[in-house]
């Protein structure tokens, strides 16, 4: 008897078939050279929003680079994410204009409220916190962007308000 077992990425629930087809798309753009690793990782992350472990294993085979090296590169560069982002992504500006108007305190409050640090995702994948060098809206400093909504002239006391707004739209 033939059984068809569906394999999923345990972190995200992504089906193996989906990962296979998406990575095949990425690989079609490259020759598999070792020097192509970074752009392959970038394109793969564009497909999934992060780097699923099964995809990194396929990249290892495609490039003939050991899996441990692939994981090492992916963890070394801040641009790569090894876990899926939360449903709500809270981006706090760390630029100078925002910093001098209390951006660091706002970030700290968001981290305290969610129990995670910048660059992390809550275990239930509800929230991720990211920091941005400058949103280009310095006149509105300090700035926080939640999903696509911009909150300008932020202050610490409004952090709860924006987290509540996330719940309402979830």
The mark string for 29-48 relative to ligand FES (x by CB under 6 A, - otherwise) is --------------------
Give the count of residues interacting with ligand FES (CB under 6 A): 11
Residues 6+ apart with CB under 8 A from 8: 14, 15, 16
**Which helix (H) or strand (E) is 45 found in, with range?**
helix 37-48
Window 84-103: contact mask with ligand FES (x via CB under 6 A): ---------x-xxxx-----
Q: How large is the C-alpha radius of gyration of the chain?
A: 19
∠ CA 95-114-140, nearest 5°, is 30
For position 82 contacting ligand FES by CB under 6 A, the verdict is no
Spell out the residues 6+ positions from residue 46 whose beta carbon is closer than 8 angstroms to its own. Answer: none
* 131 near ligand FES, judged by CB under 6 A: no
Place of tokens 């660091």: 104
* 3-class DSSP assignment, residue 133: coil
Query: Which structure tokens are listed for 160?
Result: 């709860």
Considering only 121, 135, 162, 166, the residue that binds ligand FES (CB under 6 A) is 135
Q: Is 144 in the site for ligand FES (CB under 6 A)?
A: no
Using Cβ positions, the residue closest to ligand FES within the complex turns out to be 95
Residue 137 CB, nearest approach to ligand FES (Å): 5
Site residues (vs ligand FES, CB under 6 A): 93, 95-98, 134-135, 137-138, 141, 143
């Amino acid at each position: 008897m033939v059984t068809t077992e569906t394999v999923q990425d345990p972190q995200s629930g992504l089906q193996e078939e989906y990962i296979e087809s998406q990575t095949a798309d990425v690989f079609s753009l490259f020759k598999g050279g070792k020097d192509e690793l970074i752009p392959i990782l970038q394109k793969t992350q564009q497909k999934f929003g992060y780097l699923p472990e099964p995809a990194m294993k396929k990249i290892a085979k495609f490039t003939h680079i050991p899996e441990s090296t692939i994981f090492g590169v992916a963890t070394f560069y801040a641009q790569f994410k090894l876990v899926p982002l939360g449903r709500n992504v809270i981006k706090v500006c760390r630029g100078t204009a925002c910093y001098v108007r209390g951006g660091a305190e706002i970030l700290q409050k968001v981290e305290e409220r969610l129990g995670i640090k910048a660059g992390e995702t809550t275990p239930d994948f509800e929230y991720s916190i990211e920091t941005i060098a400058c949103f280009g809206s310095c006149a509105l400093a300090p700035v926080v962007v939640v999903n696509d909504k911009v909150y300008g002239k932020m202050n610490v006391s409004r952090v709860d308000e924006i987290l509540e707004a996330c719940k309402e739209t979830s």
